[in-house]
Amino acid sequence: DGWAIVVACDLPLVSADLFALLARLATEQIDGSDRWDAVVPIVGGYEEPLHALYHCRCLPAIETRLAQGQRRVISFMGDVRTCYVPEAELRRADPLLHSFINANTPEEWQAALELLASLQD
Protein backbone atom coordinates (compact mmCIF):
# COMPACT_ATOMS: atom_id res chain seq x y z
CA ASP A 1 0.00 0.00 0.00
CA GLY A 2 3.05 2.28 0.31
CA TRP A 3 2.67 3.29 3.96
CA ALA A 4 5.34 3.14 6.66
CA ILE A 5 4.72 3.23 10.39
CA VAL A 6 7.35 5.25 12.25
CA VAL A 7 7.72 4.75 16.00
CA ALA A 8 10.46 6.16 18.20
CA CYS A 9 12.30 3.58 20.27
CA ASP A 10 11.65 5.55 23.48
CA LEU A 11 7.86 5.13 23.29
CA PRO A 12 7.30 1.70 24.87
CA LEU A 13 3.52 1.86 25.30
CA VAL A 14 2.50 2.07 21.65
CA SER A 15 -1.21 1.45 21.11
CA ALA A 16 -2.44 -0.70 18.24
CA ASP A 17 -5.77 1.15 18.50
CA LEU A 18 -4.01 4.47 18.02
CA PHE A 19 -2.25 3.28 14.88
CA ALA A 20 -5.53 1.83 13.61
CA LEU A 21 -7.00 5.33 13.95
CA LEU A 22 -4.04 6.87 12.11
CA ALA A 23 -4.32 4.24 9.37
CA ARG A 24 -8.02 4.97 8.94
CA LEU A 25 -7.29 8.68 8.64
CA ALA A 26 -4.49 7.97 6.16
CA THR A 27 -6.93 6.52 3.67
CA GLU A 28 -9.62 9.18 3.98
CA GLN A 29 -10.13 11.36 0.94
CA ILE A 30 -9.39 15.03 1.41
CA ASP A 31 -10.27 16.61 -1.92
CA GLY A 32 -11.69 14.40 -4.58
CA SER A 33 -9.44 11.41 -5.11
CA ASP A 34 -6.38 12.84 -3.33
CA ARG A 35 -5.27 11.32 -0.06
CA TRP A 36 -2.92 12.22 2.76
CA ASP A 37 0.84 11.67 2.44
CA ALA A 38 1.56 11.85 6.17
CA VAL A 39 -0.55 11.41 9.31
CA VAL A 40 1.05 13.04 12.34
CA PRO A 41 -0.32 13.28 15.89
CA ILE A 42 -0.28 16.55 17.82
CA VAL A 43 0.21 16.11 21.58
CA GLY A 44 0.59 18.98 24.01
CA GLY A 45 0.66 21.34 21.05
CA TYR A 46 3.65 19.61 19.45
CA GLU A 47 3.95 17.42 16.38
CA GLU A 48 4.92 13.81 17.05
CA PRO A 49 6.70 12.94 13.76
CA LEU A 50 8.29 9.81 15.23
CA HIS A 51 4.90 8.33 16.05
CA ALA A 52 3.28 8.72 12.67
CA LEU A 53 2.45 7.24 9.27
CA TYR A 54 4.20 8.24 6.04
CA HIS A 55 3.44 7.27 2.46
CA CYS A 56 6.27 6.63 0.01
CA ARG A 57 5.04 9.74 -1.83
CA CYS A 58 6.95 11.67 0.88
CA LEU A 59 10.32 10.42 -0.37
CA PRO A 60 10.98 13.13 -3.00
CA ALA A 61 10.24 15.87 -0.45
CA ILE A 62 12.45 14.18 2.15
CA GLU A 63 15.29 13.75 -0.35
CA THR A 64 15.03 17.41 -1.40
CA ARG A 65 15.20 18.63 2.19
CA LEU A 66 18.15 16.35 2.97
CA ALA A 67 19.98 17.61 -0.13
CA GLN A 68 19.44 21.14 1.23
CA GLY A 69 21.06 20.10 4.51
CA GLN A 70 17.79 20.13 6.43
CA ARG A 71 17.83 17.21 8.82
CA ARG A 72 14.82 17.94 11.04
CA VAL A 73 12.21 15.22 10.72
CA ILE A 74 9.47 17.81 10.27
CA SER A 75 11.33 19.85 7.62
CA PHE A 76 9.38 18.33 4.72
CA MET A 77 5.90 18.36 6.28
CA GLY A 78 4.87 21.54 4.51
CA ASP A 79 5.81 19.98 1.16
CA VAL A 80 3.38 17.05 1.42
CA ARG A 81 -0.28 16.63 2.33
CA THR A 82 -0.06 16.21 6.08
CA CYS A 83 -3.00 15.28 8.27
CA TYR A 84 -2.33 16.64 11.76
CA VAL A 85 -4.38 14.66 14.26
CA PRO A 86 -5.45 16.72 17.29
CA GLU A 87 -5.14 15.38 20.80
CA ALA A 88 -8.91 15.12 21.26
CA GLU A 89 -9.15 12.74 18.32
CA LEU A 90 -6.15 10.72 19.52
CA ARG A 91 -7.86 10.25 22.88
CA ARG A 92 -10.65 8.32 21.16
CA ALA A 93 -8.15 5.50 20.62
CA ASP A 94 -5.78 6.13 23.54
CA PRO A 95 -7.75 8.03 26.23
CA LEU A 96 -4.79 8.72 28.52
CA LEU A 97 -2.28 9.07 25.65
CA HIS A 98 -0.07 6.34 27.09
CA SER A 99 1.37 5.85 23.60
CA PHE A 100 3.28 9.10 24.02
CA ILE A 101 4.96 8.32 27.35
CA ASN A 102 8.71 8.57 26.85
CA ALA A 103 11.18 6.23 28.52
CA ASN A 104 14.64 7.76 28.14
CA THR A 105 16.11 6.86 31.51
CA PRO A 106 16.11 3.70 33.63
CA GLU A 107 13.66 5.42 35.99
CA GLU A 108 11.27 6.31 33.17
CA TRP A 109 11.55 2.78 31.81
CA GLN A 110 10.67 1.34 35.23
CA ALA A 111 7.71 3.71 35.54
CA ALA A 112 6.49 2.63 32.08
CA LEU A 113 6.77 -1.04 33.08
CA GLU A 114 4.81 -0.39 36.27
CA LEU A 115 2.12 1.47 34.32
CA LEU A 116 1.91 -1.37 31.81
CA ALA A 117 1.57 -3.92 34.64
CA SER A 118 -1.20 -1.86 36.25
CA LEU A 119 -3.08 -1.69 32.94
CA GLN A 120 -2.94 -5.47 32.57
CA ASP A 121 -4.39 -6.10 36.04
Q: Where are the domains of the chain?
A: 3-120
Distance (Å) of CA 72 to CA 5, 50, 53, 110 = 18, 11, 16, 30
Longest Cα pair distance anywhere in the chain, in angstroms? 50
pLDDT of residue 54: 97
Residues in contact with 7: Cβ distance below 8 Å, sequence separation at least 6, in sequence order: 14, 50, 51
CATH class given for the domain over 3-120: alpha beta
Per-residue pLDDT of the chain (121 residues; tens, 9 = 90+): 899 999 999 999 999 999 999 999 998 866 665 689 999 999 999 999 999 999 999 999 999 999 999 999 999 999 999 999 999 999 999 999 999 999 999 999 999 999 988 988 7
In whole angstroms, what is the distance from residue 92 CA to residue 69 CA? 38
